């Protein structure tokens, strides 16, 4: 029971006890055309912060989600034709598949932040807030004031829960 | 109280706790000082926005009104003067079909003209600084003089494509994107800037544009054919001159339709070709993928067959707008590139939103954060120092918390056509260039020339952020104010629509 509040406090404590040290930007990977993909190259600034497999896992999963959003298959064609037939009014009541997937991505990023990145003093910004150009990862440095920070650092070793 | 499992209710509790702790009176003075601004009001491109950010058009919209007037008047005359005769003499299906076509034409026109064509938001100062650093490292040159144009090469489907750096937007343009000099924006899959619809045609509105010109072709041919039919039928009874006296409007319609048909039908044919080969007007005119350039030159974006290309262009997924016009601006410090650190569109995640707020706090007040070197992961101490003049963080709350944004929006702003506005479109008497009026039905494609580079160098406030500097011994207490903002943000869930 003790670990949960510390994890919970982690994200909060990150705000008022940590300061922004650096930002790393993962650029887009255009080798597949104009579809949305991000480079999975592991930035050197994160080497001391997070384990490489965890990081690459996150980015790969994001790429999978974006590919799903932009996938052109039966469902997206159906949606497109239906939308055209209803003069796009149907989107007043329902959201496009792309938007649904973007929401899923937002939730995933939040979950990753809570579980993996915040305990390591990192935060991922949803690419949609950066115009889908980059994945911005902020690196925080702990100012080490409050006692809960020492608690958070003790649980920083634990990864996903 | 603190139970494992669901994190969200806990967050709710926590936020409400923090809010009671926070002194609410402290926020309201700041709130009153700076009014909330929507992002479209701070948009750096040369666009016009109506209906509180729901409608987005290019700056010069005179020709758009001409288009609208032509369509309305011709169709109006047709329905008023020709349809009564034709529906009686031939079939009432004629006005019905005409009506359907007319509504479709207007709908697609509005959708093309009013929606975001796929504008790429400009880089945040941090991103721009990061890119500049990378380029400087690659070039090996020192900043101070304007470096040569920057390009990156990428291989797409076996073809080498050059990505150019946009000096205005401070990004490397994605493939097929281009900077529209009229609107001063980078647009994804840029086709052309169309003055007739008063907007750029890009990734997000290309299908509407195509449907507009296609349906307009049908409408024009339809009206032309049936007005001629009408005149002929009447002339059989009354004679030609009497007919002209009875229905003088028909003459006007025939003239308008005659001159429009060539250009519009021609344009539809041209765009049908472009869609089937998955090219943009830009690429076609430049001959980017023509075999004349080289034997191995081919279009890497084409899906191979015409059917797939058409389906992809017309029925593919429609990406949402990246510029979040109706979101609220967080910082009210004017910046050369607009603050794209905004609220998320899809249900704010407190971590990101708070971090954005913190970013803005740091940037806008240029505060020196001197932290003790106690890293979380016990790596070597890396400290942030920022430009600053303020000694304490308590005064930090001022400019930042003034722009208290509301939480995420329920739906992204531009996916719905939203043709109904409260106050209708606000016509502006712009200084549209006379050159537009001289176009005699020939579709004028505005191709974007290469963007003239603007003076280089970092943005004034962004440069030192994120760079690690010397270690200081000071310690500054955390900002209470950013916490307050976060808590308020957490409480206020949805912004107004």
Q: Would residue B13 show up in a list of annotated catalytic residues for this protein?
A: no
Q: How much is the pTM?
A: 0.67
**How far is residue B293's CA from residue B289's CA, in Å, rounded to a whole number?**
7
Task: Residue A92: count other Cβ atoms within 10 Å of its Cβ.
Answer: 13
Residue B408 has φ and ψ, to the nearest 5°, of -65, 155
Residues of chain A contacting B120 with CB distance shorter than 8 Å: 131, 133
Looking at beta carbons, which residues of chain A come within 8 Å of B486? 15
What ranges make up the beta strands (E) of B89-211? 119-120, 151-156, 159-166, 171-172, 178-180, 185-187, 192-194, 199-201
Instruction: Please report the pLDDT score of residue A92 as a whole number.
Output: 77
- In whole angstroms, give the CA distance from residue B470 to residue B467: 10
Q: Return the closest-CA partner of residue B365 out of B465, B472, B240.
A: B465
Compute mean pLDDT per 10 residues along chain B, 497 residues long, and list them: 46 43 47 71 88 88 93 92 88 91 91 92 88 75 59 86 89 91 92 93 93 94 92 88 85 90 94 92 86 79 87 86 83 44 41 48 47 44 41 40 39 40 40 39 44 41 40 44 51 46
Please give the span between the terminal C-alpha atoms of chain A, in angstroms, as a whole number: 13
Using CA atoms of A92, A96, A102, A106 in order, give the dihedral in degrees to the nearest 10.
40
Q: pLDDT at position B325, please?
A: 83
Q: Which residue has the higher pLDDT, B434 or A69?
A: A69
Query: So what's the pLDDT on residue B34?
Result: 65
Q: Residue A95 is nearest to which of B312, B411, B465, comparing CB atoms?
A: B411
Sheet hosting strand A122-125, strand order edge to edge: A18-27, A134-142, A122-125
In A, which residues are within 8 Å of B482 by CB distance? 15-16
**Is B349 close to A30, i.e. CB distance below 8 A?**
no
> What integer best gives the mean pLDDT of chain A?
78
Q: Which two tokens stand for residue B478?
A: 């955390």
What confidence score (pLDDT) does residue A32 get?
84
The more confidently predicted of residues A15 and B472 is A15
pLDDT per residue as tens digits for the range B371-418: 444 444 444 444 444 444 444 444 433 444 443 333 333 344 344 343
Say yes or no for a CB contact (<8 Å) between B317 and A125.
no
Collect all residues of chain A within an 8 Å Cβ-Cβ radius of residue B315: 76-77, 80-81, 84
What is the structure's pLDDT at A60?
A: 93
Residue B255's CB is within 10 A of a number of other CB atoms, namely 11
B376 closest CB neighbour out of A84, A109, A142: A142
Q: How far is CA B371 from CA A13, A68, B385, in A?
A: 15, 42, 8
CA distance B263 to chain A (A): 25
Which one of A10, A84, A102, A143 would you mutate to disrupt binding with B, by most B Cβ within 10 Å of its Cβ? A143
Query: Which of B183, B194, B356, B461 is labelled catalytic?
Result: B194
């Amino acid at each position: 029971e003790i670990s949960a509040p510390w994890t919970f406090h982690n994200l909060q404590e990150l705000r008022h006890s940590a300061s922004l040290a650096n930002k790393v930007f993962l650029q887009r990977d255009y080798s597949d055309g104009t579809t949305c993909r991000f480079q999975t190259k592991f930035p050197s600034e994160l080497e001391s912060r997070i384990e490489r497999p965890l990081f690459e896992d996150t980015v790969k999963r994001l790429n999978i989600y974006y590919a799903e959003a932009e996938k052109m298959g039966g469902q997206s064609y159906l949606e497109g034709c239906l939308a055209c037939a209803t003069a796009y009014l149907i989107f007043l009541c329902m959201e496009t598949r792309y938007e649904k997937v973007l929401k899923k991505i937002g939730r995933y990023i939040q979950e990753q932040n809570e579980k993996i990145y915040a305990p390591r003093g990192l935060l991922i910004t949803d690419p949609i807030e950066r115009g889908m150009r980059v994945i911005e990862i902020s690196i925080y440095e702990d100012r080490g004031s409050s006692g809960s920070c020492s608690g958070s650092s003790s649980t920083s070793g634990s990864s996903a829960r | 109280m603190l139970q494992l499992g669901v994190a969200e209710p806990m967050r709710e509790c926590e936020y409400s706790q923090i809010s009671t702790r926070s002194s609410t009176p402290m926020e309201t003075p700041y709130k009153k000082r700076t009014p909330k601004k929507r992002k479209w009001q701070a948009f750096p491109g040369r666009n016009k926005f109506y209906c509180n950010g729901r409608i987005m058009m290019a700056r010069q919209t005179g020709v758009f009104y001409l288009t609208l007037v032509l369509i309305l008047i011709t169709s109006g005359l047709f329905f008023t003067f020709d349809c009564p005769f034709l529906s009686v003499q031939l079939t009432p299906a004629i006005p019905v079909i005409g009506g359907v076509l007319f509504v479709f034409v207007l709908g697609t026109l509005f959708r093309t003209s009013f929606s975001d064509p796929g504008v790429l938001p400009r880089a945040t100062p941090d991103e721009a600084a990061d890119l500049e650093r990378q380029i400087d490292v690659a070039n090996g040159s020192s900043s101070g003089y304007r470096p040569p144009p920057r390009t990156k090469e990428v291989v797409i489907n076996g073809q080498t494509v050059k990505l150019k750096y946009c000096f205005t937007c401070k990004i490397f343009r994605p493939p097929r994107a281009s900077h529209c000099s009229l609107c001063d924006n980078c647009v994804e899959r840029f086709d052309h800037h169309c003055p007739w619809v008063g907007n750029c045609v890009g990734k997000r509105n290309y299908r509407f544009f195509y449907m507009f010109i296609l349906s307009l072709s049908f409408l024009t041919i339809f009206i032309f054919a049936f007005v001629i039919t009408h005149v002929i039928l009447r002339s059989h009874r009354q004679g030609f001159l009497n007919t002209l006296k009875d229905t003088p409007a028909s003459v006007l319609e025939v003239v308008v339709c005659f001159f429009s048909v060539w250009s519009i039908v021609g344009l539809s044919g041209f765009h049908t070709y472009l869609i089937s080969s998955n090219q943009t007007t830009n690429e076609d005119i430049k001959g980017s993928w023509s075999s004349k350039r080289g034997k191995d030159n081919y279009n890497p974006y084409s899906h191979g067959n015409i059917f797939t290309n058409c389906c992809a262009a017309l029925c593919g997924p429609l990406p949402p707008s990246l510029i979040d016009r109706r979101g609220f601006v967080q910082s009210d410090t004017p910046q050369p590139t607009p603050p794209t650190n905004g609220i998320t569109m899809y249900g704010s995640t407190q971590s990101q939103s708070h971090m954005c707020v913190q970013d803005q706090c740091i940037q806008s007040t240029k505060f020196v954060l001197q932290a003790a070197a106690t890293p979380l992961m016990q790596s070597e101490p890396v400290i942030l120092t920022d430009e600053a003049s303020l000694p304490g963080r308590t005064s930090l709350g001022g400019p930042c918390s003034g722009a208290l944004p509301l939480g995420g929006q329920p739906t992204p702003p531009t996916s719905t056509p939203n043709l109904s506005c409260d106050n209708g479109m606000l016509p502006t008497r712009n200084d549209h260039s006379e050159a537009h009026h001289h176009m005699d039905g020939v579709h004028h494609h505005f191709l974007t020339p290469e963007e003239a580079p603007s003076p280089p160098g970092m943005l004034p406030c962004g440069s030192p952020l994120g760079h690690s500097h010397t270690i200081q011994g000071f310690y500054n207490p955390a900002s209470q104010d950013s916490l307050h903002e976060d808590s308020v943000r957490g409480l206020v869930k949805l912004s107004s629509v």
